[in-house]
Chains A and B, each alone.
Chain A
Amino acid sequence: MVDVLVVDKVSKLFGKMRAVDNVTFAVGEKEVYGIAGPNGAGKSTLFNAISGIPYHPDTGKIFFRGKAIHEVHPHVICHLGIARTFQQETVFDTLTVMQNVMVGAVFGHPANGSGTPEDMAVAVLKKVGLADRQDEKAWHLSLFDKKRLMLASALVTQPSLLLLDEPAAGLNRMEIQQTLDLIRSINGDGITIILIEHVLPLLLTVSHRIMILSQGEKLVEALPAEIVRDERVIEAYLGRRSNHGPSAA
């Protein structure tokens, strides 16, 4: 099997701080690859380095379907078939829902898209459940709708690799459930997904493999079932066991 994405010894520094420290991993075709880790572990920085927005890695290489992308312009990375979402709900405030998606429909992929940009935009809006709100201005959507809109605008660029940065953050249970269904459906369409998520039940449910980052370094990479029993993971999340707190499980 050819790897869709290979991240090879990638590091990103902010001043003296190693936000991402020599991280290596590979993601296979149609895989859902989960990334978790405590706050400040470098998860989003890793996404930024992969997508080139707003920076490339300081050292290390990234290959997408065999092509080196660690020095490629970010809009070209999008054209190659990598789309990302952002941790903060991000929309074009003054544009309508439809226009938000049209940006990606027109500019997000090489000319050989299927159908007109308008058709593609309507299709992805349908997929995320915003089809009946095309003419609303994006700034007054709810958090969940903004997140879905961001997802739609990623999908419309026809990615073969989707980077999702905490799609469930700040959502309620029902919305998380819908997000889960949506991720599964997108993956079912054959799109490879890398998922950063703090809501671990979601991550454990949907991911095929999971990497735990801690302080910029790759701590563990394992199957979901193994992850939850790994002492190192529990320590990274809940802190080091000490004589103050009783042990669990």
Chain B
Amino acid sequence: MAPPLLEVKDLHVGYGEVQVLRGVSIDLQDKERIGLFGPNGHGKTTLLKTISGLLRPWKGEIRFAGKVISGKSPRELVEVGIIQVPQGNTLFPRMSVMENLLIGAYADRAWKKRRQGLERVFELFPRLAERKSQLCRTLSGGERQMLAMGVGLMGHGQVLMLDEPTLGLAPKIKDELREAIQQIAATGVPMILVEQDLEFLLALTDRLLLVQEGRIVLEKTHASSEIEHARILEMYFGGLDQAEPDLALGGKIT
């Protein structure tokens, strides 16, 4: 097997006194898409933020294409090609759609390819093309999420990380986003996808990782997802047939 494109080794991260990640290791191969899921507050977003440089690891190492990148600033990582689309589609409210996209291509590497990037984004999300000069804050929730992804795409990432792209969206828009992500994936961009919606993840990723208590407690490839689905339901709802649901979730599944 080829060396992984992105390699996270024994990552420990926290905020202030509170530790969130307690030894996370992940390999992402080129062209691979992995999905992260698990309960709230257990470290999914923290992991993405650490990879994108918003947080500094307490311990552990992140490598990209063999080179150590942990400890670099977000700006340097964007130049490397690591793009995170943050949760909650927070964009630049008083800028037009076009301006938002141009900010997405701010990094020198991406700025040169901005025309190409715009074409690609407008092809993927024709709705954004229609609303080019509209202010971001006047967009609907779904459109904003599309724009957030568009801004991410403008960065011409080597790795694209999407944090809960369907949060709070209606099913119809979810379907549209799913198709868009599939099209992006088809171009071969490796992705890390965080999502609560498991169906969404199963449709879009090659591998699923369950993040719990700051660790990866379960890792399965797509092929075995049939068993997976049942077990994941069990994880969410506990042992249905027992009188007392087992709280030791991780232990049960692995």
Looking at B38-46, B63-71, B104-112, B121-129, the stretch in contact with chain A turns out to be: B38-46
| B233: A residues at CB distance < 8 A | 234, 238, 248-249
Bound complex: CA A241 to CA B200 (Å): 9
B119 within 8 A of A: no
CB distance from B39 to the nearest CB of A (A): 5
A166 with B40: CB separation less than 8 A: yes
Please, what's the 1-or-0 string for A209-245, where 1 marks a CB less than 8 Å from any CB in chain B?
A: 0000001000000000000100000100111111011
Please, what's the 1-or-0 string for A186-225, where 1 marks a CB less than 8 Å from any CB in chain B?
A: 0000000000001111101100000000010000000000
| B168: A residues at CB distance < 8 A | 17, 39-41, 215
| A131: B residues at CB distance < 8 A | none
B76 within 8 A of A: no
| B16: A residues at CB distance < 8 A | 139
A245 with B203: CB separation less than 8 A: yes
Looking at A70-78, A156-164, A173-181, the stretch in contact with chain B turns out to be: A173-181
| A166: B residues at CB distance < 8 A | 40-41
A249 with B230: CB separation less than 8 A: yes
B245 within 8 A of A: yes
Most chain B beta-carbon contacts within 10 A, residue among A38, A237, A238, A241: A238
Bound complex: CA A38 to CA B164 (Å): 11
B237 with A169: CB separation less than 8 A: no
CB distance from A214 to the nearest CB of B (A): 9
| A241: B residues at CB distance < 8 A | 199
Q: What secondary structure prevails in chain A residues at the interface with B?
A: loop
A142 within 8 A of B: yes
* A146, A169, A238: the one within 8 Å of B199 (CB): A238
* A143, A242, A246: the one within 8 Å of B226 (CB): A246
Most chain B beta-carbon contacts within 10 A, residue among A170, A239, A248: A239
B199 with A240: CB separation less than 8 A: yes
A89 within 8 A of B: yes
Bound complex: CA A36 to CA B48 (Å): 25
Per the CB 8 Å criterion, the residue count for chain B at the interface is 44
A142 with B18: CB separation less than 8 A: yes
Given known pairs A40-B168, A228-B240, A246-B226, the reply for A177 and B247 (CB within 8 Å) is: yes
Bound complex: CA A202 to CA B40 (Å): 14
| A204: B residues at CB distance < 8 A | 237-238, 245
Bound complex: CA A202 to CA B235 (Å): 12
Most chain A beta-carbon contacts within 10 A, residue among B203, B230, B236: B236
Bound complex: CA A105 to CA B97 (Å): 52
Given known pairs A239-B198, A245-B198, the reply for A170 and B238 (CB within 8 Å) is: no
Bound complex: CA A239 to CA B245 (Å): 23
| A228: B residues at CB distance < 8 A | 237-238, 240
A202 with B247: CB separation less than 8 A: yes
| B197: A residues at CB distance < 8 A | 38, 238-239
A112 within 8 A of B: no
A172 within 8 A of B: yes
CB distance from A137 to the nearest CB of B (A): 11
B238 with A200: CB separation less than 8 A: yes
Most chain A beta-carbon contacts within 10 A, residue among B88, B174, B202: B202
Given known pairs A173-B248, A239-B197, the reply for A198 and B41 (CB within 8 Å) is: yes
Bound complex: CA A240 to CA B177 (Å): 14
B203 with A173: CB separation less than 8 A: no
* A38, A41, A215, A238: the one within 8 Å of B170 (CB): A215
Please, what's the 1-or-0 string for B196-211, where 1 marks a CB less than 8 Å from any CB in chain A?
A: 1111101100000000
| B229: A residues at CB distance < 8 A | 238, 245-248
B61 within 8 A of A: no
| B245: A residues at CB distance < 8 A | 201, 204-205
B244 with A205: CB separation less than 8 A: yes
Given known pairs A166-B41, A205-B244, A245-B199, the reply for A172 and B213 (CB within 8 Å) is: yes
Bound complex: CA A173 to CA B88 (Å): 29
- Residues of B whose CB lies within 8 Å of any CB of A are 16-20, 39-42, 88, 141, 164, 167-168, 170-171, 174, 196-200, 202-203, 213, 225-226, 229-230, 232-233, 236-240, 244-251
Given A142-B17, A142-B18, 8 more pairs with CB closer than 8 A: A39-B164, A39-B168, A41-B168, A170-B213, A201-B246, A204-B237, A238-B233, A249-B230
- Residues of A whose CB lies within 8 Å of any CB of B are 17, 38-41, 89, 139-143, 146, 166, 169-173, 176-177, 180, 198-202, 204-205, 215, 228, 234, 237-242, 244-249
